[in-house]
Amino acid sequence: MAINISYWTRVIKNIGYVLLLLIGSFLALKLSIFYMPFLVAFIISLIIEPAIKYIMKKTSLTRRTSSIVIFLIVITIIIGSLAWIIITLFSESSSLLQRLNEYFDKAYLQFQNLISSFDFDKIHISNELLNLLQNSTGDILNTASNWIRTALTSLVNIITSLPYIAICIGITIVALYFICVDKIYILDQIEHHLPKVWTKKISVHLNDLIKTLGGYLKAEATLVLVSFIVSLIGLYILKVCGFNISYPLLMALFIGFVDALPILGSGTVMIPWAIICSINGDINLGIAIIVLLIIMSIARQVLEPKLVSKNIGVHPIFTLVAMYTGFKLIGIIGLLIGPIVLIIFKNIFASLIDQGVFKTIFDKK
């Protein structure tokens, strides 16, 4: 049987191309984590670039002066917000860590009371199954308690590592300044030191990536920020009005984190919270949380059509797979990073996906 050399050469070449892109994407992801301050500075520079251009257009100021003005405004806001967030987070996290066992003991006791008040004889549940249900509930609560304790301990450790935080923030601020002020010079230097073929290919992929992923992240970040701010203001208002809101900033951050996850939303946190409050007898707080959720949903529905111009083209099932894969590989933060990596891969392999990956690699032409 004759072997088609040209066919298998093309197949091996295509497989090598895909593997090379996968390895490159993996290395790029690792490098982006390693050089996180510079990545954060680059993302902030993309966000504030329209403001710089607006000032240049409306005034006679140069790019350098316009960049410095916007830079000073942004840095003032960021440093002030970070100082308040760090102090408040440390206070709330430490307080919650101290009272965590008390909260979970109370939850377990309430569940036991609920089981005791229910007549299981009517549905003929055996004592063995009932004991299994009680033990499983205790195990679930212990696991949840350990997860929350680990997360809060990690958060407190990060907050208390002030030298490391100060260095990262300092590098990010300096990098942001140079990226904003000397953007044209930096781009010229990159173009000067790279081969023209590389420059053309990188610029095409980078422009497409910034357009799709950058636009998506910018829109989602804006929506999540709105949800976080509305929930934070709402929770603080409820706290001032006398409602039992012990950790408004932590809850607002948790709501914002869940709201950032594709498929899920702020209702995933707030609806169960309202139900638990109502079961505990605090019906007014439960209603107040639902009202706050409605306000957040209205704000999101008003802003979303204006910010998200088109769908990213990824089916929810693939997004869910990416979230689960990210969670299994790197933990909770993987729920956020998984879909982002999926969008990056979709952009890089756009032509292969459109034509059919295996068809492109193995089909005989």
* 205-250 per-position pLDDT tens digit: 666 666 666 666 677 777 788 888 888 999 999 888 888 888 888 8
Q: How confident is the model at residue 91 (pLDDT cuts 50, 70, 90)?
A: confident
pLDDT at 356: 59
Comparison of pLDDT for 64 and 139, the residue scoring more: 64
Comparison of pLDDT for 309 and 336, the residue scoring more: 336
Cα–Cα distances (Å) from 304 to 235, 253, 309, in that order, read 23, 20, 8
CA distance 327 to 325: 5
Token pair for 162: 């002030």
pLDDT at 116: 64
Q: Is the pLDDT of residue 10 over 80?
A: no
The maximal CA–CA distance of the chain, rounded, in angstroms, is: 84
Q: Indicate the average pLDDT of the chain.
A: 76
Residues 6+ apart with CB under 8 A from 225: 256
Comparison of pLDDT for 92 and 212, the residue scoring more: 92
Determine contact, residues 180/45, Cβ cutoff 8 Å. Answer: yes
**Looking at residues 127-140, what average pLDDT do you find?**
65
Helix (H) or strand (E) holding 223: helix 215-240
Residue type, 250: L
Token pair for 144: 């949840």
Give the three-class secondary structure for 51: helix
Q: How confident is the model at residue 53 (pLDDT cuts 50, 70, 90)?
A: confident
Q: What is the pTM of this model?
A: 0.65
Residue corresponding to tokens 């509305």: 230
Q: Which of 6-10, 89-93, 178-182, 273-277 has the weakest average pLDDT?
A: 6-10
pLDDT at 362: 60
